Structure 1
């Protein structure tokens, strides 16, 4: 860790000579220097760094250069290298996207500015289907403010920026298992209609294993129970992704855009578990288990908007969309004793259907000198139907609502207004406000559940360009944001743990949850280097009320006395942090320097939850630190580029309550690639991901009722090798 901080500081020091020279550069751009007419004619947009620099509300842009850099197979692998972004779960297996170390839904993920359908995963989205990624650390009024940690907006590929048919064929190799993928992107134009057809077909195979050591001890340290579980699983997934986009320009200048995203995936797998219990007053539930699973998932989401030009520079942008999700899964599990006799058989099926429709709009207009006013609305309705059946070998239901229909309806409405004001050439400000209301209702077992939340979020952002240093600026933001309970936390059907214990409880929902409310302050200093370089230092504070945590207790159920985990609002928390970023091309800072691009970022986080004794009473799963280092080297004499990136997150220890402590091991991920360009149209990329292949370990301790329950887990990770051939026609 001590080596990372000097590296970041050295990057900052590199910028100082460039700062000293800025006084000799041209003054701030005059009206004659503007290139807006060119942008309008060509249909282009500002480059990534220029757009970031000119945005009043802090926004980082990562375009095709970053998306293509390492030949990643999914968007999750791209996100893990971005400043302040981490992934939960094991290396090489993806996981929940997190900003500022905050998991559990604090980070808002959007696709084309809209929330994706339920069950959507970053691992299902190929980088070839994405035009750019926008990372916003503070909320803005035109997007939902359900973004306490920040917002990641994934913009799917636009057609107007492409001119060639692109074909990519790749194969990933892990533990001798091949996972091929074929991607096709075809742009076209017919009169006023332009379109892009993007599709990918994949077949993935993987193998996993896990070791679990469970222990229960009394108050004197006497061993009451000890178990060893050795699990092994293998499976495959077949996937088809389609993302066509259409754009039609009318004679009056209006534009109609429509884009769909379709994902179809079928999975199957087999697993087996050996359970040994050398100590225990009662025999284990089983000694050997064998399980087969299957799944069929389809997601369809449509996005559309109509842009109508009004008098002057005013315009009306009306959005519309729909979503459909179908998830069918089944599991058949056999449990045997030590002699191989069948003890029980469990059949689990889950059929879930999600439907949604939404509309919205935004009116924008210049208002006075330097003002750009925007106001709009959003309406969304969604409906879920779920049928879960869980039966043992005698046909007995495993929970009270097994086989019943669970229906849930969510209605969301929002109004917003914002004003971007260029006060002077040095000062820009943004003032916005958003009201959002969400109502969730559900019927299950003749009982109705209703939950309503309403949140008003005022938002302020400001940028000051330092006089005499046109490449330096300071940002500040004061915002209100929130995190609403998801449908699963409100009305979830019970999830049963086969080896129920304090460290492996059943999970249920809580219909009385309130949204978490956060007040946030952000400050940042940015210095821009060359065409695409930046050095920045930023800090933030989030003050959170109505914090949601899962409460652990023993409850009497249809299956007897069991440990159950359910979410609850527990009170107040605060988190803060400092984030450093340095990104630059060496050739732009030094004469005759090699073509080397550097990328680095380091983050340090603090948090405290009231009502839970310390130490380690942190927000759930938040690491204290995280860092990324990366480098790309392009040879001058041969068409070869080499690159590497390193992601580091230290071990995390969190006291989640006065009863429970949870730990997870450090994560070190080293990725490398080599890119050979045969010509301007064909290239081949060879990548190696997770070269260190560290084991992922975890530990949970629960002290309750005079018994200490412990669970230690070990999950191996594996190196993935991949090769990708890309050609344009």
Structure 2
């Protein structure tokens, strides 16, 4: 079904079904993403074409998730499918310069089912427990799906950071090393409910609610030893923290038939989120004298109301016309408070800041899918999006901003005559990336230890959206049942690029975002998957898959080399195999992502370590109702490392951080009743 949709839809889309999502028994959807074709995961950010941080759009049931929502908190059992959309369509927001990942929650009910999954996992310094419950049923015209997931994780982390500061001649001015010893705990709860009433014809009413709640807390100690130059002010630092995130989305949708051939889909929804953070620090210097006793807490609340709809109708033979709208209003408030208890003679660095924002968005779109012939189809779309925001708060001026973006879109699919299974795709897109609200608030955000590589941040209310023109081309060859070879290439030209430039204001280092210059992005991707039986009739039941991506980008205004956009890796690759025989099945996956230096600004560079994630799983079925799944992770024992460097004509400072890697495992029992 997924392969059929990918092959025949004019708008290019890869669909990952629930069976693929559940293979490795992952605790979160974020873990699933790193094995999907064309995707990489870095710092909890999903990237397409090597670009994250807002360039890749993440949707939940076709809509942006509530503020503060994290893929870390979404259980794979809640998901029906994942859609990877490489070129923008008018139906979804065109805030998708790199592409869109749409996560569709479970809703299909074919028959009554009940399932319980319980799992445990462990590794050096870590352990986890998970419980999943799911049930669904269909009673005449009424059907329902209910799900609940509970996850608890404990982890011990011991990163090591070294900092080296030198003058313009290369003479060392300062060097110190910080060793951390942290214990963290995380608990997440997911709840999902969907009720559907089937009316006459295609008419139906559906209510769906999703709740995600995550609670994290931890404590740690840091010891810093200075080997050269000025002593680090915090020789011994004790920290504790908490982070609580709750997000709720509930909507009611109505489907109605119009005139026998038309269809109206409309949905109204409400979203709520609350994101609380706290960080508490106590430090002493080399002489064991107290120098820091600081409490910091923040709270971000978001309330939103949305209304969307789509009218579909065949207005002429071979045409499928769609006209729709997407509107919403959000109210967001942020508060942060810091209290210093300082020794006599020192000045406390206290603040109590906050702001409130109102955001209104309206989008209108029209699209037409035209089947010119059995071998050739065209998709044409136009989407206009407008946003308006107003921000105010104590100590900051009231600011207003607005943006309007018109996005013409075109895609075409041509099935080569006489060449069974060969087809070509072409897409032309106009997309954008709106600046994050936090980057537009004219307020000063402070760091606890201010340096060139850890600067303060000041928002800029004059930021404009980044605009991009895109071209995508793909060749696909379907040569057997379940077998595919594809090659694709893409180009993005981005204008109004937002970059943060770090500068010293006489007292502190500060980063200020600005629209500076353009960026040029290129990429190619090769993908292949096939069952081994397609090439060997007597082969075992083995499915093979591979995808390889090569990326190029260049930011104007930032000198090279390595002036790539958004820390884009030069290449990435995914390889996998699955085997099944009788009651046993299993498989393995290898995800590779290139590392290296990228130059983010005139004086700033970052080094990201290469990623090599080798994982394997095995499943044994005890019967039609019960099975055991076992997964081994990080078989190559790859750790993590990274560096940040600031170098100007007066000198340089570089921070290097490393963290060891270990093998871990998970076991999960699944029972249907």
* C-alpha distance after superposition, 1:308-341 (max 9, x if no partner): 1011210111111110001222222101122433
2:109–2:138 Cα contact (<8 Å) kept: no
1:471–1:528 Cα contact (<8 Å) kept: yes
In structure 1, C-alpha distance between the alignment counterparts of 2:643 and 2:165, rounded to whole Å: 14
Specify which of 69, 75, 86 is matched with residue 126 of structure 1: 75
Check if 1:679 corresponds to 2:623: yes
Q: How does 1:15-414 map to 2 (within 5 A)?
A: 47-89=1-43, 95-281=44-230, 283-394=231-342, 398=349, 402-414=351-363
Moved over 4 A (4+): 394-397
Q: How does 1:489-504 map to 2 (within 5 A)?
A: 489-491=439-441, 494-504=444-454
Equivalent in the alignment of 1:35: none
Query: Deviation of residue 397 (structure 1)?
Result: 6.2
Query: Deviation of residue 87 (structure 1)?
Result: 0.4
Query: Deviation of residue 394 (structure 1)?
Result: 4.5
1:49–1:531 Cα contact (<8 Å) kept: no
Equivalent in the alignment of 1:588: 534
Query: Deviation of residue 177 (structure 1)?
Result: 3.3
Equivalent in the alignment of 1:599: 545
2:125–2:157 Cα contact (<8 Å) kept: no
In structure 2, C-alpha distance between the alignment counterparts of 1:120 and 1:719, rounded to whole Å: 29
Equivalent in the alignment of 1:573: 519
Q: Unaligned stretches of 5+ in structure 2?
A: none
In structure 2, C-alpha distance between the alignment counterparts of 1:531 and 1:398, rounded to whole Å: 66
Equivalent in the alignment of 1:37: none
Which deviates more from structure 2 when the two are superposed, residues 308-317 or residues 446-455?
446-455
* C-alpha distance after superposition, 1:52-78 (max 9, x if no partner): 111101000010121122111111111
Q: How does 1:421-500 map to 2 (within 5 A)?
A: 421-444=370-393, 445-491=395-441, 494-500=444-450
Measured at CA, do residues 174 and 507 of structure 1 come closer, stay the same or move farther in structure 2, by a change above 3 Å?
farther
State the number of aligned residues: 669
Equivalent in the alignment of 2:560: 614
Measured at CA, do residues 642 and 191 of structure 1 come closer, stay the same or move farther in structure 2, by a change above 3 Å?
closer
| 3-state DSSP of counterpart to 1:243 | strand
Query: Deviation of residue 190 (structure 1)?
Result: 3.6
Check if 1:714 corresponds to 2:658: yes
Alignment root-mean-square deviation, CA: 1.6
Equivalent in the alignment of 1:527: 477
1:625–1:650 Cα contact (<8 Å) kept: yes
Query: Deviation of residue 302 (structure 1)?
Result: 1.5
Which deviates more from structure 2 when the two are superposed, residues 589-598 or residues 602-611?
589-598
* C-alpha distance after superposition, 1:115-148 (max 9, x if no partner): 0011111111111000000000000001000000
Q: Unaligned stretches of 5+ in structure 1?
A: 1-46, 90-94
1:414–1:437 Cα contact (<8 Å) kept: yes
Equivalent in the alignment of 2:632: 688
* C-alpha distance after superposition, 1:152-179 (max 9, x if no partner): 0000001414531011111121225321
Query: Deviation of residue 446 (structure 1)?
Result: 5.0
| 3-state DSSP of counterpart to 1:501 | coil
* C-alpha distance after superposition, 1:341-377 (max 9, x if no partner): 3222001111221100100110000011100000011
In structure 2, C-alpha distance between the alignment counterparts of 1:287 and 1:726, rounded to whole Å: 49
* C-alpha distance after superposition, 1:444-497 (max 9, x if no partner): 225112121110000000000011123111000001001001112212754433
2:61–2:104 Cα contact (<8 Å) kept: yes
Check if 1:625 corresponds to 2:574: no
Specify which of 665, 688, 694 is matched with residue 609 of structure 2: 665
In structure 1, C-alpha distance between the alignment counterparts of 2:352 and 2:608, rounded to whole Å: 36
2:517–2:557 Cα contact (<8 Å) kept: yes
In structure 2, C-alpha distance between the alignment counterparts of 1:591 and 1:190, rounded to whole Å: 44
1:459–1:478 Cα contact (<8 Å) kept: yes
Which deviates more from structure 2 when the two are superposed, residues 390-399 or residues 695-704?
390-399
2:341–2:348 Cα contact (<8 Å) kept: no
Query: Deviation of residue 252 (structure 1)?
Result: 5.0
Q: How does 1:545-556 map to 2 (within 5 A)?
A: 545-556=495-506
Measured at CA, do residues 357 and 398 of structure 1 come closer, stay the same or move farther in structure 2, by a change above 3 Å?
farther
In structure 2, C-alpha distance between the alignment counterparts of 1:198 and 1:443, rounded to whole Å: 40
2:88–2:99 Cα contact (<8 Å) kept: yes
In structure 1, C-alpha distance between the alignment counterparts of 2:529 and 2:106, rounded to whole Å: 25
In structure 2, C-alpha distance between the alignment counterparts of 1:295 and 1:662, rounded to whole Å: 27
1:494–1:506 Cα contact (<8 Å) kept: yes
Query: Deviation of residue 527 (structure 1)?
Result: 1.1
In structure 1, C-alpha distance between the alignment counterparts of 2:143 and 2:273, rounded to whole Å: 28
In structure 1, C-alpha distance between the alignment counterparts of 2:460 and 2:176, rounded to whole Å: 32
Query: Deviation of residue 705 (structure 1)?
Result: 5.1
In structure 2, C-alpha distance between the alignment counterparts of 1:256 and 1:650, rounded to whole Å: 47
Which deviates more from structure 2 when the two are superposed, residues 696-705 or residues 135-144?
696-705
